[in-house]
Each structure stands twice: as C-alpha cells, then as structure tokens.
Chain A
Amino acid sequence: GIQVEQSPPDLILQEGANSTLRCNFSDSVNNLQWFHQNPWGQLINLFYIPSGTKQNGRLSATTVATERYSLLYISSSQTTDSGVYFCAVDTGFQKLVFGTGTRLLVSP
C-alpha cells in the first residue's frame, strides 16, 4: 500500500517563528488533507489540497502531486498551534492513509 512519511517528527519553536512541515507519499493520490490534532485529541481540518496551493490566515499548503509531496507552512507561530500535524492521502479507494505526524511545540 501507499507509504506516507512526514518530517520532521518533532519540532520545537519559539512563538513568532515560521516553520515548514513536509509530507512525502509513494504513489499517485486523489485526495490529500492536512489536519491538526489538538491536545484534546480532536482532528481539525486544515486543508483539502490534492494539488496546488491554498492559504488560510497564517497557514498555507502546497501539494506537488507529480513529485509526490506536500508542504504545510506555519507563519508567526502561536502557542495554540501546538499539537500534532497529520497529512493523509487517498489513492481512490475511499480511505485516507495517515502519516505518522509532526509533533509541534510552540513555546512562549
């Protein structure tokens, strides 16, 4: 099956810093989503981005489907950005395959 790898596995930032999270996948995909799992365990939708670039406030994402990767940019990070960031992909069989996540800690 498809492999989804995320890097870095852990990231510690000072408040206000910028960061880039990466998601590599091993096969063509029909769907790619980024999620933020907050400290309460909730999965918050960030982006639905099978290709191209999207922006939402301080967050933006780019998926280069032909090269099988996606990037999540966080600018001016805040403590509330802490948590685990997952990318998840679907190859067309109606199931998302999640990556192992990037654990982000933003300190004041």
Chain B
Amino acid sequence: EPEVTQTPSHQVTQMGQEVILRCVPISNHLYFYWYRQILGQKVEFLVSFYNNEISEKSEIFDDQFSVERPDGSNFTLKIRSTKLEDSAMYFCASSDWQGLLSGELFFGEGSRLTVL
C-alpha cells in the first residue's frame, strides 16, 4: 500500500541551528502538507503546497519556516533558526484533491524534533 515516508524519525538540534525535515509523498498525489504536534497537544496545520507553491499557511508558519519540492519526489520543511518552542512532532501529509471535495489526507509517521 502506498505510504508517505519521512526522515529523520528523530532529530536533536541546538537552538539556532537550521533543520531540514524530508518527506516523500504518495507518488500520484498533488497536494502536500506539513502539520506539527507539540507534545500532549492537538495536531496543528502549518502549510499546504500545490503546483510548486504555497497555497495556504497558518500563523505558525512564519519567516523561519520554508517548504520546497526540490525534485519530483521529495518535499521538505526547513526551519532556519530553531527555537526551543519548535520542539514537536512534525507530520508530512499528501492528498489527491477531488474537485469540490477535499481528498483524504495520508500522514507520514512523523519526525520528532527536539531543540536543546
């Protein structure tokens, strides 16, 4: 069964360092997303991406964050200068948009980021 894969599964970094989280979405999907979940809290939307550009982003997704699809398969989230409060589980998701109805989103296993 097709699945979304994420790397790394866990990353520990020092405050102020740059981090890149990588995702391989399901191959025939056209819409890509990043979500995050701070420990013990609900999952929050960060950004959606379609046709090589951001289509929607939340207030959380400030100038420290960027997304990119550098080739035909990978989708990356970059945090330029990490802060303690960026510690969270980051989920990548992809979907096959279905016109008026939103397609089902499929999530990767998550990348746990710990900022020290």
Dominant SS at the B interface? Answer: strand
Which interface class (under 10, 10 to 19, 20 to 34, 35 or more) fits A?
A: 20 to 34
Q: Mark A51-93, 1 if CB is under 8 A from B, else 0.
A: 0000000000000000000000000000000000010101011
Contact A42 B109 (CB under 8 A): yes
CB-CB nearest in chain A for B44? A98
Please report the number of residue pairs spanning A and B whose Cβ atoms sit closer than 8 angstroms: 62
Within 8 A of A (CB), among B62-116: 89, 91, 97, 100-107, 109-110, 112
A interface footprint on B37-63 (CB within 8 Å = 1, 0 otherwise): 100001111001010000110100000
7 closest A-B pairs by beta carbon, nearest first, are A31-B102, A48-B104, A95-B45, A43-B107, A98-B43, A90-B102, A94-B48
User: Which of B's residues lie within 8 Å of A, judged by CB?
Assistant: 31, 33, 35, 37, 42-45, 48, 50, 55-56, 58, 89, 91, 97, 100-107, 109-110, 112
19 additional A-B pairs beyond A40-B109, A45-B106, A98-B44, beta carbons within 8 Å, are A30-B100, A30-B101, A31-B101, A33-B104, A41-B37, A41-B89, A41-B109, A42-B110, A43-B91, A92-B100, A92-B102, A93-B56, A94-B31, A94-B102, A95-B33, A95-B56, A96-B35, A96-B45, A98-B43
